[in-house]
Amino acid sequence: MPVEPSAPPVTEGFAKRHPMSSAVVPTTGIRTVFLDVDGTLVTYENVLPDSAAWAIREARRAGHRVYACTGRSRAEMPEAIWAIGLDGMIGGNGAYVEDDGEVLLHQHLSAAQCEQAVSWLRRRGLEPYLEANSGLYASPAFRDAARPAIRAYAIGKGAAGASSMEVDDVLPGMVLTDELVLDDVNKISFLLSSPEDDLAAARRELPDLVVLPERGALGRVAEGARLVSLVALGAYCTKVGLHWPGVVRTARTPDFRGVPTNVGQWPPTLVQ
């Protein structure tokens, strides 16, 4: 998914308006910051604000480490995002972990799991798209089927041109093909027709996968369409920290803090 840096790029004037003073530089050691991407690091129009780039660079200059923690897969993280100085990412809802260019974890669906899920979704008349590190894949019918959900979500977020937005605007580079059985898929997303019935059926028919109704991109009900993701159980455990006992322990201490942020409104506590 390409990202357009906001114009002009980070300027001296912006830095002067948001100086790093000794008063906000922490004295308690290095911290690790995990950031969502859509709606936090970039806008819903896929623009990277100066404020986001500045905050991350200043945090890293102060010695902290900054990671993206996102539903996006590696293929959806363009160079414009990496160029601001991320140390790594947790992607694909926990299926992929990268640190300093080293892949620490890639727990994808097997080809058999992918075939089982795609076959069941097609029999039920639900359009899926596959998210892999190599790219995004969907059937030719997905573009039309997903249009109402794409537009309704964009309208709800106040995105410019939302009423005429197409799937390609949100998921550029998607490969449209009827061959949807792959062995490197991080997650499978699909559009619901009857939300309660479809969710219950997916959980019953695909017991070895975690069914996650999306609360982020495309997750709103739109003319009967809602996006849902299927991920491997182990990947989801990684996303919530169950594979990292140290992180779970840290989360119970006062030093582990969640800082609410919005695009373009990066508080000094984030840089701290």
Residue type (1 letter), 223: E
State pLDDT tens for residues 150-186.
Answer: 888 788 777 778 889 888 888 888 999 999 999 989 8
- 146 vs 6, 129, 152, CA distance in Å? 28, 10, 10
Q: 184, 182, 192, 229: which is closest to 209 by C-alpha?
A: 229
pTM above 0.75, yes or no: no
The burial class, CB within 10 Å (0-12 / 13-18 / 19+), for 28 is exposed
State pLDDT tens for residues 228-268.
Answer: 777 665 454 444 443 333 333 333 333 433 444 443 333 33
- 106 vs 98, 132, 180, CA distance in Å? 9, 10, 20
State pLDDT tens for residues 78-113.
Answer: 898 999 999 999 988 788 899 999 998 888 889 999
For residues 234 and 249, give the distance between their C-alpha atoms in angstroms, rounded to a whole number. 19
